[in-house]
């Protein structure tokens, strides 16, 4: 005898798949193992089969199928993507607010904040013609607002109109852009109020150190056109 039978070979012998009678006659160890496996299989076959009651079968069939690990990973990946997208959107809005406040502060601190200095809308409005890919409407402003002037600015790779508007001692920066690329809402930043609205296919962003309610008349004036 060169070796003992493997567990797989003994299983195959018990199932009648291989002929190992010669080896078992010479090896008491393998014969004992084969006998134990055969007795266990006979005992299992003799046991009565369990038939589940109809009620149990109905409950099992009614349960929703458990998702596979792949489905769970896909769901987790989708949730993670939403979290990342939300974080990216929050960072974009925060960056937009910071950039606009910096632009507002830089313009007001410059020696020449506007290129066309006039309180007359009929002077400021035509000044923008040919300088921007869209028409800039400058309505009559009712007190306490008054027009100071305007200029062309660049923000996030696009041209825009800048209108400097006074309200008492406060200075309001009103940015006007094409609708594309401007967030629907921008959070206030660094003590500055930022209000965003849309009208006639353009996006308006007002930045000032006044409460948001104080900018509503301005929003209504530019919203009406």
Per residue in 87-109, pLDDT tens?
Answer: 444 344 457 778 888 889 889 99
Judged by DSSP in three states, 66 sits in coil
pTM of structure: 0.57
Please provide residue 10's backbone torsions phi and psi, each rounded to the nearest 5 degrees: -65, -40
Nearest one of 157, 170, 105, 114 to 138, comparing CA atoms: 114
Q: Which residue has 């020696």 as its token pair?
A: 111
Per residue in 34-60, pLDDT tens?
Answer: 777 776 766 666 666 556 667 766 776
Q: Residue 107 CA to chain centroid, in angstroms? A: 33
Distance CA 6, CA 8 (A): 5
Pair of tokens at residue 7: 């567990």
Q: Which positions ≥6 away from 119 have C-beta within 8 Å? A: 146, 147, 148
Say how many Å lie between the first and final Cα of the chain, rounded.
104
Which residues in the chain show pLDDT less than 50? 1, 79-80, 82-93, 225
Residue 56, pLDDT score:
65
Residue 68, pLDDT score:
57
- Tell me the angle at which helices 7-14 and 28-46 cross, rounded to the nearest 10 degrees: 50
CATH class of 95-224: alpha beta
Residue 162, pLDDT score:
96
Residue 21, pLDDT score:
79
Instruction: Give start-end residues of each CATH 3.30.200.100 domain in the chain.
Output: 95-224
Residue 88, pLDDT score:
41
| β-strand partners of 207 | 173, 194
Residue 87, pLDDT score:
43
The answer to whether residues 10 and 32 touch, using CB atoms and an 8 Å cutoff, is: no
Distance CA 114, CA 106 (A): 12
Pair of tokens at residue 85: 């997208």
């Amino acid at each position: 005898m060169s070796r003992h039978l493997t567990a797989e070979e003994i299983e195959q012998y018990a199932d009648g798949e291989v002929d190992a009678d010669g080896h078992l006659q010479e090896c008491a160890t393998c014969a004992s193992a084969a006998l134990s496996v055969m007795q266990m299989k006979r005992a299992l076959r003799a046991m009565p089969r369990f038939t589940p009651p109809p009620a149990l079968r109905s409950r099992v069939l009614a349960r929703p199928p458990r998702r596979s690990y792949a489905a769970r990973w896909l769901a987790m990946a989708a949730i993670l993507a939403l979290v990342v997208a939300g974080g990216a959107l929050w960072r974009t809005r925060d960056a937009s607010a910071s950039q606009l406040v910096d632009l507002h502060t830089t313009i007001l601190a410059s020696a020449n904040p506007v290129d066309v200095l006039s309180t007359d809308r009929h002077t400021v409005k035509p000044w923008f013609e040919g300088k921007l890919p869209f028409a800039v409407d400058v309505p009559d402003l009712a007190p306490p607002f008054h027009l100071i002037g305007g200029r062309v600015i660049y923000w996030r790779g696009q041209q825009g109109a800048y209108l400097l508007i006074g309200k008492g001692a406060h200075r309001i920066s009103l940015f006007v852009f094409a609708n594309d690329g401007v967030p629907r809402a921008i959070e206030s930043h660094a003590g500055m109020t930022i209000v965003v609205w849309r009208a006639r296919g353009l996006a308006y962003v007002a930045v000032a150190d006044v409460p948001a309610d104080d900018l509503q008349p301005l929003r209504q004036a530019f919203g009406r056109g």
